[in-house]
Amino acid sequence: MPVLILGGTSDARRVAELLPGSVTSLAGRVRAPRLPPGEVRIGGFGGVAGLVGYLRSAGITAVVDATHPFAAVMTAHAVEACAQAGVPLAILRRPGWTGGVRVPSLAAAAQVLPSLGSRVFLTTGRQDLATFARLDLWFLVRSVDPPDPPVPQRMLSILDRGPFTVEGERALMREHAIDVLVTKDSGAAAVSAKLDAARALDVPILMIDRPPLPSGVPVVETPVAAARFVTDVIMA
């Protein structure tokens, strides 16, 4: 009974480990993604209609949306497609982080940022750099793949992939005299190295809130709970 897992997160890989025989769908935005066990498909479905067609043709019995908390479009498509196809769906979202200066969007972060610091560790992802491109600040940007323009004029790009340690993040911030950290409330790990490092150095944290989740859809907080949801659906 095939199960579809949406997302390239570490939680998605863990769900795939817990559900042998599942199919994991990756967006294809990273050139060399870490592949989960089992069958993997890369690329979009072609909107809601394409996803509905895939669910039906592949005989999918349940879907776990383990995408990034900020992949709001994919989540909305999954909710609509599963409703149309009559396929049970659970959304996997780890509890969010607490603290920091909270803002509702990238645009709001760009407005607030100059008041918090001038040497920025920007960890919102390489696809969001355009929002900050016109700011007269210095940016340290880290990503798996090189960022595409437009990007800030004063920027150092580091290509690296986590997980990272608190000691390493603290050393990185000290090396580049970082005085403000910008990040999305992605949650995931119980301990975030960059957040802990920033707090240890008294570096302000600018936190972008998650988009709201769709109503009426089961939400689970761990891969184990997601696997249990699937098992319950199949055994019902």
Per the CB < 8 A criterion, the answer to whether 139 and 109 are in contact is no
Q: 69-81 burial, b if ≥16 CB within 10 A, otherwise e?
A: bbbeebbebbbbb
CA gap 53, 98 in Å, rounded: 39
DSSP string, 23-80: EEEE---SSSPPPPSSEEEES--SHHHHHHHHHHHTT--EEEE-S-TT-HHHHHHHHH
Residues 170-184 pLDDT 10s: 999 999 999 999 999
Domains of the chain are: 3-93+212-235 (3.40.50.720), 101-208 (3.40.50)
Residues 29-61 pLDDT 10s: 766 677 888 899 998 899 999 999 999 999 999
Per-chain mean pLDDT for the chain? 93
Q: Residue 37, Cα to own-chain centre: how many angstroms?
A: 20
Task: Tell me the average pLDDT across 160-171.
Answer: 93
- Asked whether residue 14 carries a pLDDT value surpassing 60, the answer given is yes
Question: What radius of gyration, in Å, describes the C-alpha atoms of the chain?
Answer: 19
- Asked whether residue 191 carries a pLDDT value surpassing 60, the answer given is no
Which tokens in the block code for residue 39?
């069958």
Residues 80-133 pLDDT 10s: 999 999 999 999 999 988 889 999 999 999 999 999 999 999 999 888 999 999
Which of helix, strand or coil describes residue 170?
Answer: helix
Q: Which of the 8 DSSP states describes residue 187?
A: -
CA quadruple 28, 124, 195, 178: dihedral sign: positive
Task: Tell me the average pLDDT across 142-148.
Answer: 90
Per the CB < 8 A criterion, the answer to whether 125 and 106 are in contact is no
